[in-house]
Structure 1
Amino acid sequence: MSFGFIAFHYPRADHTEEFVGRTRQVRDFLATRPGFVRADVWVTPEGDAVVTSGEFETSETFQAAFGAVAGELGDVVVFDEREVKPRQVHTLLSR
């Protein structure tokens, strides 16, 4: 059983492309971590949300990878005034 996530980010309109770049930076870092399977970056057609999705082999490898993100890229993943509302992050289990 693999472990996934989907996250909805709501950047201000004038920060959407910057935010896409930030999420790609996180994706590239995650790709170096044990247990990483894949991650994708999407933007809604209206441009009001950046959606990231991904998959890890286990919840433990997911947690370790995101713990490493916080330590290495903390300034990239911080919630700040560039976002209009809090992120929504959901974790998933394959069946």
Structure 2
Amino acid sequence: MTVGFVAFHYPHPEHFEEFVGRAHQVGDVLRASSGCLSVDVWATPDGDAVVTIGTFESDEAHRAALAAARDLDAVAFDERERKPRQVHPLVSK
């Protein structure tokens, strides 16, 4: 079964482009992990949110990829975000 996530991130407007860069940095690490099928970075047209989407061959591959990215400073929630992230796990059907 393929697994994935969609995450909505809400950076303050003055940190929006910086956050997009951080999301791409995390995406590069996830993509380099064994079992990663795809990682994309999107933004809502109104600039309200950065949306990240990832898919993996298995739950184990997903967990391993996240573990590899945890050491990045870009993963930590901090004052550059105006409200908590919304992360939704996904499973293929």
Whether the TM-score (by the shorter chain) exceeds 0.5 is yes
What aligned pairs does 1:18-29 form with structure 2 within 5 A after superposition?
Answer: 18-29=18-29
TM-score, scaled relative to structure 1: 0.95
Moved beyond 4 Å, runs of 4+: none
2:18, 2:36 → 1: CA distance? 24
Number of matched pairs:
93
Match of residue 9 from structure 1 = 9
Unaligned 5+ residue runs, structure 1? none
SS of structure 1 residue aligned to 2:15: helix
| SS of structure 1 residue aligned to 2:34 | coil
> Per the alignment, in what secondary structure is the counterpart of residue 83 of structure 2?
strand
Aligned to 2:87: 89
Instruction: Find the aligned partners of 1:87 and 1:20 in 2 and give their Cα distance.
Output: 14
Unaligned runs of 5+ in 2: none
Aligned residue for 2:32? 32
The normalised TM-score by structure 2 is 0.97
